[in-house]
Amino acid sequence: MKSAEEEFRKESVRSLGESEPVTVSRTTTLGEALDKLRVPDSGGCVIVVDTVGGQPKPVGIITERDYLDRIVQRVDAGADAALAAPVEDYMTVDPKTLSENADLEKAIQLMTTGGGYRHLPLVDDNGLLTGLILTRDIIAFLAQSFPVEIMNLPPQLHQDERIDSREGG
């Protein structure tokens, strides 16, 4: 049986069945971008793109966290004006991207120790957008690949072998 570590080094992020990114242009209004952010299939983010040779190139990102941490405060000051402003005024510029050929280990590193990213746009060798990897994509992969190990984890990691009795009645 392969270890989780071996599996992460071997598995490409493309094999996760990555999410289809929701995209907007720089000139899209913040209100329109937030509407797209609310779509269930958005994955909690909208990728702001420029079109290069008819293909999307990521130049920014708006996430649910951006909305809660930064946008709400600025919108409260003048909601109508803010919602009509271009999304580029509010986006995180130059989002961290990941090569579509990267392994799962690299994605996990970026999501856990590399800045806490929960949304990683996938790009080809020319920097053009090809997909999106979400934290939930990796969790689904882990649950499918290691069901016994995942199901038998203690509720809190520090509880390893200290559980003397079952919880509840």
Q: Residue 64: which domain range? A: 4-152
Instruction: Decide if 165 is inside a domain.
Output: no
Q: Which residue has the higher pLDDT, 49 or 83?
A: 49
pLDDT in tens, 99-135: 988 988 888 888 888 677 888 999 999 999 999 998 8
Asked if 92 and 62 touch (Cβ cutoff 8 Å), the reply is yes
Indicate whether 63 pLDDT > 70.
yes
Indicate whether 68 pLDDT > 90.
no
Instruction: Decide if 163 is inside a domain.
Output: no
Q: How far apart are CA 155 and CA 148, in angstroms?
A: 14
Indicate whether 10 pLDDT > 80.
no
Asked if 134 and 119 touch (Cβ cutoff 8 Å), the reply is yes
CATH number, domain with residue 53: 3.10.580.10
Beta strands in 81-124 (DSSP E): 92-93, 98-99, 119-123
How many domains, the chain? Answer: 1
